[in-house]
Amino acid sequence: MAKPRELLIVWALLMALSLTLALAADVAHASRLGATMIGVVAAAAALKAQLVLRTYLGLRVAPGALAGFTAAAAVTLLLVSASFLFFATPQ
């Protein structure tokens, strides 16, 4: 079980990553995202998923499950990122 201080630190990191995602995604003009910004968004989302899985779901003690869920999240993020890169409609 994670300690309250660790939970607070991880929560603060999640909030900082959420802000990073919002700024990198340029939510006001999402159609202008380039490959670099899509990569930044995907990396921040992957890190958020890893933090939640490891800390809040307690998968730190089950490395196999952590690796499996992390791989599933990575594949999902890769597919979503690729769809933005290859199938985005220009405006």
pLDDT tens, position by position, 23-82: 877 766 656 677 888 888 888 899 999 999 999 999 999 999 999 999 999 999 999 999
Domains in the chain, number: 1
**Cβ contact 35:85 at 8 Å:** yes
Q: Are 78 and 36 in contact (CB under 8 A)?
A: no
Its domain, for residue 25, covers 4-87
Q: What angle do CA 17, 78, 67 make, to 5 degrees?
A: 75
* Residue 43, CA distances (Å) to 2, 15, 35, 46, 80 in order: 24, 15, 12, 5, 12
